[in-house]
Structure 1
Amino acid sequence: MTNKRIVLNAFDMNCAGHQSPGLWTHPEDRSHEYKGSRYWIELAQLLERGKFDALFLADVLGTYDVYQGSRDAAVRQGAQSPVNDPALVVPLMSAVTKHLGFGVTASTTHEHPYTFARRMSTLDHLTDGRVGWNIVTSYLKSAAENIGAEQVKHDVRYDIADEYADVCYKLWEGSWEDDAVIVDKETGIYADPAKVHDIEHKGTYFQVPGAHLSEPSPQRTPVLFQAGASKKGAAFAGKHAECVFIGAPTIEIAKRSVDNIRHSAINAGRAPEDVLVLTLITPIVAPTAEQAQAKYEEYKKHISHEGALALFGGWTGIDLSSYAPDQKLEYIENDAIQSALENFTKIIPGKQPTVQDIRDFVGVGGLGPVTVGSPEQVADELERWVSEAGVDGFNIAYAVTPGTFRDFIELVVPILQERGLVQAEYKGATLRDNLFQKGDRLNPAHPGHRFVKQAVPIGI
């Protein structure tokens, strides 16, 4: 069906019950252990044994308080609340692995790029070049309110993000020359100040006159992830992203998103293959199809419908608390995740979904579909998504953790490896090189590359 290498990311969040609300109540689920180091250390070791490319860490900076006009449902049901900082668990995991990458979600709306750039450089150093940045613009109004700001309009958030990225590129790529750091113990010179440059950024949203605080890290710019699928988000992804995360309920919708992203990359002067598109999926697998279906039915008993509607409200900006279970969902444009609401209206091909359909869909798998079956059936389904939708890989979400990941690694990965579809060994030392096999640094066609400081030859 396909012969291209499939990228595998694990999808998690520094909270209990990430994409499957209520399943933290399942006796086999350990997501409530997110607060401690052991959970993250053991997960990283498991994923590296399974030759996953990266662990993709989601994040939000506010609570889901659209449903019933309150955060109570989200807090009560553990729907991505409480949630800890994703960046701080990365050093724990990098210390016990050699190849696994780490995608860290961070917002361009609520943090200044100067301080953020240093934190990412620090992580890139500590991981030996295995960190990525998932660029988000923050869709939760509660996040803005709690830092004393007003929620920025959807499209304006992307304008801010565009300039934010440029500031970061200038700091990462252009502030320190490659040979600025000398570490000469005989002369006592650590770095040559003539090769450290102020970026002198004067923009619409940011003023950053000085130099980057950190010396160049292995990748300089972390691998750039992005998840926008609206018109504005897709244009941003085509320009900036190296990996795009989509949540498509069907192959047909995924194909349209993939085609749109590839077209956006071409419009930005990049090659379509410069952007890897990864789609969200939750695999429920067992040695036989019957056992997998029984497992799925068991999981459904733990769904929190209240938690599902709390997540839906945060993702879409729509409060379904006053809707009857059989009431149909319609698209309403607002400043939340526009693509999420559009996709939710299409979860059942040929049918306008009801509130009950939404609760059931979100209950296991969240924003994305679930595939249930034997190892061969799940492997076949992943191949079908790659072949028919044109995706480059998957963000594997869990129903229960680490069980979903362990089952997938033990039962499905060997089949995909036998078919030559996922890596049996890591190829690169850094995350970028492992994904693209073109070295550690940004592709020259990427807009961030134009800020690379070129050394001026003596005498010119």
Structure 2
Amino acid sequence: MTAAQPSRLQFGAFVMNTGSHMQHGLWRHPDAKQHTFDDVNLWVDLAKTLERGRFDTIFFADVVGVYGGAGASFDVNAREGMQLPSNDPSMLLSALAISTEHLGLAFTSSILQEHPFTFARKISTIDHASGGRVGWNIVTSFLENAARNYGLDRLVEHDERYAWAEEYVAVVGKLWEGSWDDGALLADKASGVFADPAKVHRIDHVGERYRVEGPHLSSPSPQRSPLLFQAGSSGAGKAFAADYAEVQFMMAPSIEAARASAESTRALVAETGRDPRDVKFWQAMSFIVGSTEEEAKRIEAEYDELLSADAFLAHSNLGTDQATGKPIDPDTPLKDVQTQGGHSMLDALKALSPDREPTVRDLAKLTAKLRGRVVGTPEQIADHLAEWRAAGIDGINVANWMIPHSYEVFVDEVMPVLQERGLAQREYAPGTLREKLFGAEPTLPETHPLRAYRGAFAGR
């Protein structure tokens, strides 16, 4: 079953378990507390604030390496706290699950960092603990250092990483969807049967990278498979999203670019046999809110004074040669920069400079512009978001300047205006995260490719 497209926008809080995630330098602001990211209470309190504001999810980004080419210096990363240090976000989710009732709990995990058998069990455990509120952002990792951290000689080629992801998703899908039949778990004290062995199956996966016998050690969780997020906007990324994604994150430089990207991906989704309405598109944005436009601009100027150009350049991952780690000539045109990752980001940066060919020297300024900054009063922000919704964008992934301040301001000042206009929910729908976002069943729809594994292993 697929529900009609809702009129409201969906909202996620885009965070990372680190001191400086996207708006580099703002951790020094007196109102910022993200420098205390090691304290679980920071995240518990934030989750409660987001639930009070009726956010749909808290979404944790993550990386498993430092930015820069092979062997590049990470002095800037450490000095600026630019995602170094950072902690594993999945370790926070159990604390957030017992501290909230409705908020979706989504996190990033790369195909590099964990064997699919172990990862599938982790997801099922969190989904059980949260009552069906977990989401997984599927990433392939584009950092040279990440590849070396997991024993590879070099970063796998861009499109080949998506082929790897195809097998990884197949393994976890077989475990979540096919290893246990419906009704297998009985826990029947009278008969003494905990689980019906005839309804629990090995998967016997043998592929290029993995051999997994099974069965899945966890019984089916409320969603079976987590809600599936994906962020790649390259050709391979869009094809992968068309097959598997339920929410695709976007960082489009304009409404027109977002509309075109969403429409092209929806067309690919239809070609796979899935309903295009089974994929939501969420745009990343950050907000600077003032009671007047003048106050908002004053706050913007205050924030800009704290921004770190060095950290923005390091975060772009384009300022060094990825193979050698040596700095690239700052006058090198972006069109000449070779990279095995971040293709969609590179294209978006080029689009922000239509009048001339941007260079590496322009990266810091362009990246700050790319982050979807919206400055104004709550009413002006609501006007702006209404335009995005009219363009077919389903949700906003709200990036922060400061934790928890940015979200407290958004919840207290912007959300009431959005709710009054019907652009944000006033109350949560019942059920799992998938039910809340799609108004459909708790598990994957019949047309999703992972559903093909349901019942596929009976008799093994």
Normalising TM by the smaller chain, what interval?
over 0.9
Describe the shift of the 1:169–1:439 C-alpha distance in structure 2 as closer, same or farther (beyond 3 A): same
Alignment counterpart, residue 69 of structure 1, candidates 43, 49, 72:
72
1:206 and 2:246 aligned: no
CA distance in 2, matches of 1:48, 1:220: 24
Matches within 5 A, 1:79-118: 79-118=82-121
- For 1:448, the equivalent position in structure 2 comes to 450
Which of 214, 223, 244 is matched with 1:219 structurally? 223
- Runs (5+) with no aligned partner, structure 2: none
The count of residues paired between Structure 1 and Structure 2 equals 452
Instruction: Specify the alignment match of 2:390 in structure 1.
Output: 387
Out of 358, 377, 385, the position equivalent to 1:353 is: 358
Q: 1:340 aligns with which of 340, 345, 352?
A: 345
- The counterpart of 1:424, out of the listed 423, 426, 432, is 426
Which residue in the other structure is 2:279 paired with? 275
Q: Does residue 397 of structure 1 match 2:399?
A: yes
**Map of 2:196 onto structure 1:** 192
Q: Alignment partner for residue 254 of structure 2, among 250, 255, 273?
A: 250
Q: 1:119 aligns with which of 109, 119, 122?
A: 122
2:15 corresponds to which of 12, 15, 20:
12
Structure 2 contact 179–457 (Cα < 8 Å) conserved: no
Two-structure CA RMSD over aligned residues (Å): 2.2
Letter in 1 for 2:124: S
1:154 paired residue number:
158
Match of 1:286 in 2: 290
Q: Unpaired segments of 5 or more residues in structure 1? A: none
Supply the distance in 1 between the matched residues of 2:137 and 2:235 (Cα, whole angstroms): 18
CA contact (8 A) 1:140 1:314 kept: no
Q: CA deviation at 1:341?
A: 0.8
| Contact 1:109 1:160 (C-alpha < 8 Å) held by counterparts | no
Between the aligned partners of 1:291 and 1:403, the Cα distance in structure 2 is 16
In structure 1, what is the equivalent of residue 413 of structure 2? 411
Q: Residues 126, 331 of structure 1: CA spacing in aligned structure 2 closer, same or farther, 3 A cutoff?
A: farther
Q: Which secondary structure state, in structure 1, belongs to the residue aligned with residue 351 of structure 2?
A: coil
* 1:232 has 2:236 as partner: yes
Question: Percent of pairs identical after alignment?
Answer: 42
TM-score, structure 2 as length reference: 0.93
Check conservation: 2:71, 2:145, Cα contact below 8 A. Answer: no
Alpha-carbon separation, structure 1, partners of 2:218 and 2:458 = 22
Q: 1:161 to 1:454 in 2, by over 3 A?
A: closer
**Amino acid of the residue matched to residue 358 of structure 1?**
L
Equivalent residue for 2:307? Answer: 303
SS at match of 1:10: strand
The whole-number CA distance in structure 2 between the counterparts of 1:172 and 1:341 is 35
Query: How far is 1:186 from its partner?
Result: 2.7
CA gap 1:242/1:257 in 2 versus in 1, 3 angstroms:
same
Contact 1:9–1:56 (Cα < 8 Å) also in 2: yes
Per the TM alignment, residue 299 of structure 1 is displaced from its structure 2 partner at its CA by: 0.4
Q: Verify the 8 A CA contact 2:58 2:103 in the aligned structure 1.
A: yes
**Which of 114, 137, 140 is equivalent to 2:143?**
140
Q: Matched residue of 2:306: which SS?
A: coil
Identify which of 44, 57, 75 aligns with 2:47.
44
CA–CA distance in structure 2, aligned partners of residues 241 and 155 of structure 1: 17
Deviation at 1:131, TM superposition (A): 0.3
Whether contact under 8 Å (2:239, 2:268) holds in the other structure is yes
- Secondary structure of the structure 2 residue equivalent to 1:95: helix
**CA separation in 1, counterparts of 2:384 and 2:334?**
28
The residue type paired with residue 49 of structure 2 is: L
SS state at 1:432 partner: helix
Quote how far apart the aligned CAs of 1:360 are: 2.6
What residue is the counterpart of 1:433 in the other structure?
435
In the alignment, is the contact (CA less than 8 A) between 2:11 and 2:56 conserved in 1? yes
Q: Deviations over 1:23-48 (max 9, x none)?
A: 11111111111101110000000000
Alpha-carbon contact 1:278-1:394 (below 8 Å) kept:
yes
The worse-fitting range, judged by mean Cα deviation, of 306-315 and 436-445 is 306-315
Q: State the Cα deviation string for residues 304-342 of structure 1 (Å, max 9, x = none).
A: 111111101269977895544x77533534211111111
Aligned CA distance change for structure 1 residues 23 and 421 (closer, same or farther; 3 Å): same
Q: 1-side partners of 2:137 and 2:121: how far apart?
A: 16
Q: CA deviation at 1:351?
A: 4.1
More displaced stretch, 70-79 vs 329-338: 329-338
In 2, Cα distance between the equivalents of 1:314 and 1:100? Answer: 35
TM-score using structure 1 length: 0.93
**CA offset digits 1:356-410 (Å, max 9, x no partner):** 54313434x7x5210100111111111112223x211111000111111111111
Specify whether residues 316 and 175 from structure 1 end up closer, same or farther in structure 2 by C-alpha distance, changes over 3 A only. farther
> What is aligned with 1:131?
134
Could you tell me how far apart the structure 1 residues matched to 2:454 and 2:254 are?
Answer: 40
Following the alignment from structure 2 to structure 1, what is the Cα–Cα distance between the partners of residues 238 and 166?
Answer: 12
| 1:111 positional shift | 2.1
